[in-house]
Amino acid sequence: MTHRPYTPWLFLAPGLAVCLLFVIFPFLNMIVLAFTDASALGGGEFTGVDNFVRMAQDPKFWAAARNSLLYMAGVVPPLVLLPLLIAMLAQKIVPGIGIFRTAFFTPVIASTVVVGLIWTWLLDSRGLVNNLVEALGGSRIGFLTDSTLLLISSMVVTIWRGLGYYMVIYLAALANVPKDLHEAAMVDGAGPVRRFWSVTVPSIRPTMVLVAALSAVNGFRVFSEIYLLSGGSGGPGGASTTLVMLIQSVGRGLTGEVGYASALSIVLFVILLGLLLVTLKLNRREDRL
């Protein structure tokens, strides 16, 4: 016997306590609450599927779900492609490459809030970007005051912040592409574009799929970027609110409708779980390669 029977449980106790109390229990409780009319003040009667019926008729829910989906669809393609191109630029060891790679990663380490505030200032009606637009002969654009432009601006912030992160993942993948494949293609007279599509892309396709899955999950749960760029309002009339923002605003505070917020959370969970399972599966496959 190498240890007493209860020893492993002493090792596990803190970790299990945190997971059970702050993940598993709230999760199970959320499922129960979703079928009640509980408020933030407590109580709540069993109301069956009323919350879900209400959701189906709630235009705010449909708008938020649409925004979250649009957001996901908007950020995934650029986040799959642009970091790959940057990784290809930064892949070759040339003098100073360390400085470039480090600088490209800076937006990742700055917190989302810092990044959000920096871009709020850049995209201000009189900010740097609008100055540039004017200098080029255009007229000022309401990046933060129009609900569609607000969504697009937030996507740009997400994409900008993701460039360095996914670049690092791609750099690791590119390092494993056999050199002789490129050389053989070159001997066969394939140009750079042809080699990109016929050699690079097929060799790192698993990583591209992984990046797509990761950025999809993160895109669907967007909160901070839109919250900050809209100053907490979710855009004019709340028209740019996403699903996570909606849950936060419905369930929060003394007037919070906890029951309805829980029903919304279940929908969020089901969608995210689907995306997460795909990601985990791809991640595992990636590990084997």
Partner 1 sequence: MKRAHLFLALRYLGLLSILAISIGPFLWQFATSIKGPGEDVFVPDFIPDDPTFGNYAAVADVVPVWTFALNSLGVASVNVITNCLGAAMAGYALARLRFRGRRFAAVIFASSILVPFEAIMISLFLVMRGFGLTNTLTAVVLPGAIAALNVLLLRNAFLALPAEVEEAAIIDGANAWQRFTRLALPSVKGTLVVVALFSFMFSWDDFLWPLIVLSDQEKYTLTIGLAYLQGTFVQNQRLVAAGTIIAVVPLILLFLLLQKHFFRGVGEGAIKG
Judged by beta carbon, residue 106 or residue 145, the one nearer partner 1 is 106
Among 223, 236, 238, 278, binds partner 1 (CB under 8 A): 223
CA dist., res. 163 & res. 193, Å (int): 21
Interface with partner 1, residue 73, by CB under 8 A: no
**Least spacing, CB of residue 28 vs partner 1, in Å:** 9
Q: Quick one: tokens of 219?
A: 């895109």
Q: Which of 62, 178, 280, 285 binds partner 1 (CB under 8 A)?
A: 280
Q: How far apart are CA 152 and CA 158, in angstroms?
A: 10
Find tokens 């002969």 and name the residue.
137
Residue from 11, 46, 62, 197 binding partner 1 (CB under 8 A): 11
- Helix-then-strand count for the chain, H and E: 15, 0
Q: Does 104 bind partner 1 (CB under 8 A)?
A: yes
Considering beta carbons, is residue 147 or 265 the nearer one to partner 1? Answer: 265
186 is an interface residue for partner 1 by CB under 8 A: no
36 φ/ψ angles, rounded to the nearest 5 degrees? -130, 170
Full DSSP string of 236-254: GGGTT--HHHHHHHHHSST
Q: Is residue 61 involved in binding partner 1 (CB under 8 A)?
A: no
Residue 258 binds partner 1 (CB under 8 A): yes
For residues 66 and 252, which CB has a smaller minimum distance to partner 1 in the complex? 252
Residue the block writes with tokens 């900050």:
228
Residues 188/247, Cβ–Cβ less than 8 Å: no
DSSP lists the bridge partners of residue 46 as 36
Cα distance between residue 280 and residue 26, in whole Å: 23
Q: Which of 49, 73, 132, 201 binds partner 1 (CB under 8 A)?
A: 132
Of 18, 49, 53, 201, the residue at the interface with partner 1 (CB under 8 A) is: 18
* Cα–Cα distance list, 261 to 69, 166, 220, 271 (Å): 19, 33, 17, 16
| 94: contact with partner 1 by CB under 8 A | yes
Q: Does 251 bind partner 1 (CB under 8 A)?
A: yes
Query: In the complex, what is the shortest distance from the CB of residue 35 to partner 1, in angstroms, rounded to a whole number?
Result: 13
Query: Is 133 an interacting residue with respect to partner 1 (CB under 8 A)?
Result: no
Structure tokens at 229: 């760029």
Cα 175 from Cα 197, distance rounded (Å): 17
- Shortest separation between residue 168's beta carbon and partner 1, angstroms: 5
- Show the binding pattern over residues 147-166: x = contacts partner 1 (CB under 8 A), - = does not: -------------x--xxx-
| Sole window of 6-14, 50-58, 71-79, 178-186 interacting with partner 1 (rule: CB under 8 A) | 6-14
Q: Of the two residues 24 and 53, which places its CB atom closer to partner 1 in the complex? A: 24
Q: Which residue matches tokens 């009667």?
A: 45
Our CB check for partner 1 shows the closer of 199 and 247 to be 247
Helix (H, G, I), strand (E, B) or coil at 36: strand
Taking CB under 8 A as the rule, does residue 205 contact partner 1? no
61 and 264 Cβ atoms separated by less than 8 Å:
yes
